[in-house]
Amino acid sequence: MSARAFIVAAILAAAALNAPRPALAQQEKKPAPKVSSIVHLASEVAQGLGQVPAGVLVVASTVASDVPAPKGDELAVKLAAQIAGKLGGKAHPQPAALGVARGLSGRAASLVYLQIEIAKGELRVTADLYPVVSNGWERLRNPVPGPRAHAFAHAPLDAELRGYLTPILLEQAKLHKAKHEEGDVLAVGCGDVDGDGGLELVLVTRARVAVGKIRGGKVVVERAAPWSSIASRAPVPMREPLASVLVSPPAHRGEILVGTTDRGGVALDASLVTRRQLTGLPVPGSDGDACAVPSPENGAFDMNVIACTEPEPEAKKPPAKTEPTIVFTAPATRYDAVAALDLVGKDGAVSQVLAAREPSGKLRLRRTDPGAPKPIELAIEGIGAQLALVDMDLDGVPEIVTTTSAESGDDGVIVSAFTKNGVSARLRFPSKEGVRAVAVCPPEERGVPAVVAVVGSEVWLVR
């Protein structure tokens, strides 16, 4: 190419780069498919180990568990089979110690050994990739070679995993009470935000956000921050404030997603320092990427639940005004409480369960099962203002946590099963004081979830 032709080509290329481009159409958000804990663990372990030679042998240890696991060996073999499938290898049909696994590896390309533990409501897997020493001289030089790769993954217990453990009898759940001094609580959350292995409570009022733990029959606040240091006031707040909080959700571990209609939604770190603004109030039970948008003129939330984080604008371009990305459509057009649940069945299939309470007190439910021709929808009248969704006994059937309506007199917490045949109450805890907030605690003690409620000046824990 001549020098002149080269210069002309460079000018044309630069012009093409600087020329205005048509705006890209907004892409509909495609959330990652929800999977069971076993599938999640297998994917995480395979990714953590990296490139593994084809023909790897996967052997699991026996399951070490802090709760009785009568089918622990079956669980170990299933997990080994899932991981072997991801790695393109095969699994040994029974658990074995590492020394035995080395002998079993024989002519395999390599060995992946899994150490499996169930503790504090989690399944934890440690995986090590070992070379297989087939050469006699190499066996003499290094008979027990160390691992070449290491991976660790953990996931909460779900209905599929619970099927290998002793069943939970929901009717044997007990109520524990503790005092709090936070005044009028708008929302409560529960989770391990600081990564110490224990659950914290997050209490939200109009004045502040407080994080604490239950000790000696009372909520001991460990840190708190006033709303004035967290977020500015909303331009148009609601007359009666609404609030929600998510503690260390799956998509945002170590964060507290919290919001009120007085202030909007924010993401906080474990020290209660604001990290970013949210597009609305976080939806309880979601993975942390779903926010409800307040509608002050209606005193409720809009129907569509949107992504909590707005997409980043293209570099060197002014941000375009686009419609918010819809994550899901709530079962009600207008609602003052909403909850979501990714329900794992005993077979590992994941269903979406949604609940929304209309300001009139009507609760609308929707369950969408994979492969079903249409969702199951149900409406219930006379429901109180507090709402949560949970599989409390991890049997693959969702429970709805509600409160009684103001017209019924005394308040109370009600736990009901939501089946294809309707809703039936399983637990009732009446109260003479109003229930201010309810939430779900992830599995911890004995590997079971819990329900937490703020009732007057008390915090109730149902487990």
pLDDT above 60 for 11: no
Task: Report the pLDDT value the prediction gives residue 410, as an integer from 0 to 100.
Answer: 78
pTM recorded for the entire structure: 0.88
Longest Cα–Cα distance in the chain: 91
Number of H helices, E strands in the chain: 7, 30
* pLDDT tier, 343 (very low <50, low <70, confident <90, very high otherwise): very high
User: CA separation (Å) from 7 to 3, 12, 14, 15, 54?
Assistant: 6, 9, 11, 12, 51
Q: What is the pLDDT of residues 176-228, one digit of tens each?
A: 999 999 999 999 999 999 988 889 999 999 999 999 999 999 999 999 999 99
Q: How many of the other CB atoms lie within 10 Å of CB of 412?
A: 20
CATH code for the structural domain at 170-311+322-462: 2.130.10.10
- Written as six digits, the tokens of 380 are 């219930």
Does the pLDDT value for residue 4 go beyond 90?
no
Tens-place pLDDT, residues 38-89:
999 999 999 999 999 989 999 999 999 999 999 999 999 999 999 999 999 9
Give the per-residue pLDDT at 197. Answer: 82
Could you tell me the residue ranges of all domains in the chain? 37-162, 170-311+322-462
Q: Binning pLDDT at 50, 70 and 90, where does residue 318 land? A: low
Residues 251 and 240 sit within 8 Å (Cβ to Cβ): no
DSSP-based helix, strand, coil % in the chain, nearest 5: 15, 40, 45
Look over the chain and give the mean of its residue pLDDT values, rounded to a whole number.
89
| 12, pLDDT greater than 90 | no
Instruction: Check residue 188 and give its pLDDT.
Output: 98
456: left (phi over 0), alpha (psi -120 to 50) or beta: left
In CATH terms, the fold of domain 37-162 is Rossmann fold (3.40.50)
Residue 315: per-residue pLDDT: 53
> Phi first, then psi: what are they for 64, rounded to 5°?
-90, 125
pLDDT tens for each residue of 419-461: 988 999 999 999 999 999 999 999 987 888 999 999 999 999 9
CA angle centred on 57, ends 349 and 143, rounded to 5°: 145
pLDDT tens for each residue of 372-412: 999 999 999 999 999 999 999 999 999 999 998 766 567 89
pLDDT at 313: 59
Contact by Cβ (8 Å): 319, 328: no
